[in-house]
Amino acid sequence: MAIFTGSGVAIVTPFLDNGEVDYESFRKLIEFNIANGTDCIIVCGTTGESSTLTHEEHIECIRFCAEVVNKRIPVVAGTGSNCTETAIYLSQEAEKAGVDGLLIVTPYYNKATQKGLIKHYTDIANSVSLPIIMYNVPSRTGVNIAPETAVYLAKNVKNIVGIKEATGNISQAAKLMSLADGCLDLYSGNDDQVVPILSLGGLGVISVIANIAPQQTHDMVAKYLEGDVKTATAMQLKSIELCDALFCEVNPIPVKKAVEILGLCKGNLRMPLTEIEPEHAAKLEKAMKDFGLEF
C-alpha cells in the first residue's frame, strides 16, 4: 500500500529573524496545507533547508510536524545524508517521532557508485521498519540512481517502496516504470512534470508549488487519477509560468519569498542561501497573480 497518493508538499522550514526555527509559523503552514487539500506533508527535505539544520533541529522539526498533523494525513520525513550512519540515526529518530515514511536522498558530494547506493539504502532500510521513498535528484547530489538499481532495491528490500523522480528525464522515468512492473511507487519531483509522470503510472507529486497553491496541486492530481486527463493537463499547463518563477533561483529561495508574499511566514533563509533578487521577486509576484493567487 502506498504511503500516499496525490499531492505531498515539500514544506518550507520557517525561520525567525534571529535564525531559529519559527514553530508558530510552522504550525500555520501545516494547517494551511491540511485545510487546502494537501495529501501528505514532507518535512525536512530540500525545500525545508535540511542541510543547514542541526541534528537536534532536524529531529525536533520532524517531531513537531508529526505532533501537529496528528495522523490526519501522512507525514514523510527527509532523513537522508551523505553519511550512511547519520542517515540511519535520523531515520531511527524519525521513526520514534511517529512519522509514516521516510524520504532518503542519494548521498551527495561522495558520489557513490551504484553498488554503494545499494549498500547505503539497504543499510538504512534495515535499521527501521518504516517505508522508504528514494529521492533521485542528480542536479543537486551529483549521482543518479539507475533504473536497474532502483528496481533491484525495490525487489530486494521490503520497505523500499517508492522513488521521487527529480531527474527531469522522462525517458529515464519511463524505463524505470517498465522495469519495475508495479513494484515501485513513483512520485514526480518536478512541479512542471506532474501529469507526464502520472501518465507513466505515477501516484502523485512531492511538490514545491503546493506550499502556496495546495488545493490546485491536489486537484490536478485528483483530476488525472479520476480519469479527467484533459482538465489535469490544462491545470499543469496553467502552472508552468509559476513553476518557472519558483525555480528562477535555486529552491527554496523563491518559494520562501512566495510564502512571505502570502503572509504565511517570513521569508528568512539560512546561509549560504540569500534573499531573492528584486527582478526575480517581481517575476514571482506577477506569476502568482497570473495563477490566481490572492494576496
Q: Among all residues, which ones are annotated catalytic? A: 135, 164
Question: What is the C-alpha to C-alpha distance for residues 191 and 89, in angstroms, rounded to an integer?
Answer: 30
Supply the Cα-derived Rg of the chain in whole angstroms.
18
- Contact by Cβ (8 Å): 7, 214: yes
* Of the candidates 139, 147, 221, 224, the residue with the CA atom closest to the CA atom of residue 184: 147
Pairing status of strand 160-165 against strand 75-78: unpaired
Residue 286 — left, alpha, or beta (φ > 0 → left; ψ -120 to 50 → alpha)?
alpha
Question: What is the C-alpha to C-alpha distance for residues 52 and 239, in angstroms, rounded to an integer?
Answer: 29
Question: What is the C-alpha to C-alpha distance for residues 117 and 105, in angstroms, rounded to an integer?
Answer: 10
Which CA distances in Å does 37 have to 50, 75, 218, 265? 24, 14, 6, 19
CA 203 to chain centre: 14
